[in-house]
Amino acid sequence: MNCEEAQELLAALSLGALDKEEEGPLMAHLKECKACLKVLQENGRVMEQLPLAVESAFPSPDLRGRLLAQVEALEKMASSKVGKAMPPGGGWVNVWYWLRHWSPAFGVLTLLMTGTVLGWAIYLQLQMNTLTQNEDSLLTEISEQRMILNIATSEALTVIDLAGTEMAPEAYGKLLVDADNNNAVLVTSKLKPLKQDRVYQLWLIKGRQPSRPQDKIRINGGTFTVDELGQGELIIQAPDPVITYGDMGITVEPVGGSISPTGTKVLEMAP
Amino acid sequence: MEYGWLKDEQIIRLIVQGDKEALGALYDRYGRAVYSLSLRIMEDKGMAEEITQEVFLTAWARADTFHMQKGKFLSWLLTITHNKAIDQWRKRRRSLALSFDSVAANAWTAGEQGLETLEDSLSSVDRKYIREAVDRLPAPQKQVVTMAYFYGLTQSEIARQLGAPIGTVKTRMRLAFQKLKESLIQLEEELKSDEL
């Protein structure tokens, strides 16, 4: 793709109107071309302003009260130890409640993480004019954060718990899976930071038959590292919907990952 | 506490601390902007209010993840609003037979409210600028931007709807953005010279 072709698509990228098949070539071009990247950054300014052009309208006078009442109700439900009824409302409200209620500590952690990436994704889209360096990594990040945003806000969101093995009893993790496609986000906590030549590697496993362990097919789900709190994240684009894998695990592997597991297993699917 | 005088970052700090009235103050400040965008996309008051509620609940749950130095809080809210509304709209539009013939003419009005002077905390200058910039677009360019932004259509979907070659749609979109950028710069300069 040359600059002329790329610039024909930049407005569509900013507007979210780019056809999927054009995204890859355009992103590849943007990695190489600072001039086109600058145009994209300038488009961010328009995107910031565009919603303000809409004619202002008044919501019902009681909407404010309903909003605060809903917050109140959610807070009460979240702090209550009895009653597992879901709150009214859909989408995020339910997910938020679900996470907080069923796994309070990690629910909050996961929300914070998804909130962080949401904020970061939005920031990246709106504040492109601050991009002056590291275009390569930022472009990758934009693409990844968009995916995380899509998964985290998907109504088909499914959460899979991962528990620490004997080698890492305090560690835990969650897979946020978009049941509508092959994408997922892994978040972990309390995994030990590794030496520089080691990474954690996720394995997606099919053919879980205890009687025939040799039939298991292990797919590389990607590698990641963790910070000093043991928190890490990984975006997964699996060959099949992640929800169809019967088992999964995380092992310690050499940097770059392994073809099949060679190291200690630290996380596995919770029973 | 009187919240009206507080800056966004101060209100957000209070929200992080669990102050529900601060959320109310944030709603007072930006509720109309969020609702207006939702209503424009959904074209349904009830659904627009649901989305507005969801947006502010998101703000309540995740205020601590917003970094003021990295962007404007309103932009953050409106991006969430746009994403949620377009998601809903895409689901809804499958069941609707749409005509895009008159899209450009009425695209930027939110309903039967009519033009009004704004009394919320948004900069009316900002609104005026971007409105003027959009109004200055030639109708075919305004139409493709509108179909993408308010209806969540891709370039090929727009081409299909309009019965136009996709190359034409791409060019119109590019020219529209180019003109919007130029108009915004020009209008800003006009404002500066007025201030001097």
Tokens of B56: 């502010």
CB contact under 8 A, A111 and B61: yes
CB contact under 8 A, B31 and A63: yes
A45 at interface of B, judged by CB pairs closer than 8 A? yes
Q: What is the pLDDT of residue A165?
A: 92
User: B132: Cβ–Cβ under 8 A, 6 or more apart, which residues?
Assistant: B183, B187
Q: What is the pLDDT of residue B130?
A: 79
Give the DSSP letter string of chain B: ---TTS-HHHHHHHHHTT-HHHHHHHHHHHHHHHHHHHHHHH--HHHHHHHHHHHHHHHHHHGGG--GGGS-HHHHHHHHHHHHHHHHHHHHHTT-----TTHHHHTT--SS-------SSS-HHHHHHHHHHHHTS-HHHHHHHHHHHTT---HHHHHHHHT--HHHHHHHHHHHHHHHHHHHHHHHHHHHHHH-
> How far apart are the C-alpha atoms of A177 and A157, rounded to whole Å?
6
Tokens of B174: 């590019």
Q: What is the pLDDT of residue B53?
A: 92
Q: What is the pLDDT of residue A266?
A: 94
Neighbour order of strands in the sheet with A265-269: A217-224, A198-206, A247-254, A265-269, A157-164, A172-178, A183-189, A232-237
**Closest in B28, B66, B145 to A119, CB measured:** B66
Mean pLDDT in each 10-residue stretch from start to end of chain A (271 residues)?
88 89 87 85 83 86 90 73 39 48 55 63 57 53 63 74 90 85 85 89 77 71 86 84 87 87 90 79
CB contact under 8 A, B62 and A119: yes
pLDDT per position as a tens digit, B40-71 = 888 889 999 999 999 998 888 877 766 554 45
Please write down the HEC assignment for all residues of chain A.
CCHHHHHCCHHHHHHCCCCHHHHHHHHHHHHHCHHHHHHHHHHHHHHHHHHHHCCCCCCCCCHHHHHHHHHHHHHHHHHCCCCCCCCCCCCHHHHHHHHHHHCHHHHHHHHHHHHHHHHHHHHHHHCHHHCCCCHHHHHHHHHHHHHHHHHHCCCCEEEEEEEECCCCCCCEEEEEEECCCCEEEEEEECCCCCCCCEEEEEEEEECCCCCCHHHCEEEEEEEECCCCCCCEEEEEECCCCHHHCCEEEEEEEECCCCCCCCCCEEEEECC
Do residues B161 and B153 make contact, with C-beta atoms less than 8 angstroms apart?
A: yes
Tokens of A119: 């904020």
Q: What is the pLDDT of residue A84?
A: 37
Please report, to the nearest 10 degrees, the dihedral formed by the alpha carbons of residues A91, A93, A99, A101 taken in order. -140
pLDDT per position as a tens digit, A83-112 = 433 333 444 444 554 444 445 555 555 666
**Closest in A8, A18, A60 to B154, CB measured:** A18
Q: Any idea which residue has 């109004």 for tokens?
A: B135
User: A197: Cβ–Cβ under 8 A, 6 or more apart, which residues?
Assistant: A254, A255
CB contact under 8 A, A49 and B126: yes
Report the complex ipTM: 0.79
Q: A200 forms bridges with which residues in the sheet?
A: A224, A252
Q: Which residues numbered 62-101 in A keep a CB inside 8 Å of some CB on B? A: 63-64, 66-68, 70-72, 74, 89, 91-93, 96
A5 at interface of B, judged by CB pairs closer than 8 A? no
pLDDT band for B133, please (50, 70, 90 cuts): confident
Do residues A67 and B53 make contact, with C-beta atoms less than 8 angstroms apart?
A: yes
Calculate how close chain B gets to A214, using CA atoms only, in Å.
Answer: 43
Tokens of A204: 């997606």
Calculate how close chain B gets to A193, using CA atoms only, in Å.
Answer: 24
Selected residue of B161, B177, B186 to mutate for chain A interface (largest A Cβ count, 10 A): B177
> Which residue in chain B is spatially nearest to A19 when comparing CA positions?
B154
User: A87: Cβ–Cβ under 8 A, 6 or more apart, which residues?
Assistant: A70, A73, A74, A77, A93, A94, A97
Q: What is the pLDDT of residue B118?
A: 37
Ranges A78-87, A219-228, B101-110, B179-188, most confident: A219-228
pTM of the model: 0.56
Tokens of B27: 């709603």
**Closest in B111, B122, B170 to A52, CB measured:** B122
Q: What is the pLDDT of residue B71?
A: 55
**Closest in B24, B71, B86 to A68, CB measured:** B24
Calculate how close chain B gets to A101, using CA atoms only, in Å.
Answer: 14
Task: With a cut of 60, say whether residue B124 has pLDDT above it.
Answer: no
Q: A178 forms bridges with which residues in the sheet?
A: A157
Nearest of A216, A222, A177 to residue A200 by alpha carbon: A222
The count of CB pairs under 8 A between chains A and B is 203
User: A188: Cβ–Cβ under 8 A, 6 or more apart, which residues?
Assistant: A162, A171, A172, A173, A200, A224, A226, A230, A231, A232, A233, A250, A267
Do residues A16 and A126 make contact, with C-beta atoms less than 8 angstroms apart?
A: no
Tokens of A244: 């169809």
**Closest in B48, B56, B75 to A126, CB measured:** B75
Calculate how close chain B gets to A250, using CA atoms only, in Å.
Answer: 28
> Which residue in chain A is spatially nearest to B27 when comparing CA positions?
A64
Q: What is the pLDDT of residue B115?
A: 38
CB contact under 8 A, B176 and A11: yes
pLDDT band for B173, please (50, 70, 90 cuts): very high
Tokens of A123: 């920031």
Q: What is the pLDDT of residue A113?
A: 63
CB atoms within 10 A of CB A23: 15
Do residues A227 and A188 make contact, with C-beta atoms less than 8 angstroms apart?
A: no
pLDDT band for B166, please (50, 70, 90 cuts): very high
Chain A residues inside the 8 Å CB shell of B67: 119, 123
Q: Which residues numbered 129-168 in B keep a CB inside 8 Å of some CB on A? A: 129-131, 133-134, 145, 148-149, 152-156, 158, 167
Do residues A188 and A226 make contact, with C-beta atoms less than 8 angstroms apart?
A: yes
Q: A210 forms bridges with which residues in the sheet?
A: none
Chain A residues inside the 8 Å CB shell of B148: 12, 15-17
> Which residue in chain B is spatially nearest to A52 when comparing CA positions?
B127
Nearest of B55, B138, B171, B183 to residue A50 by alpha carbon: B183
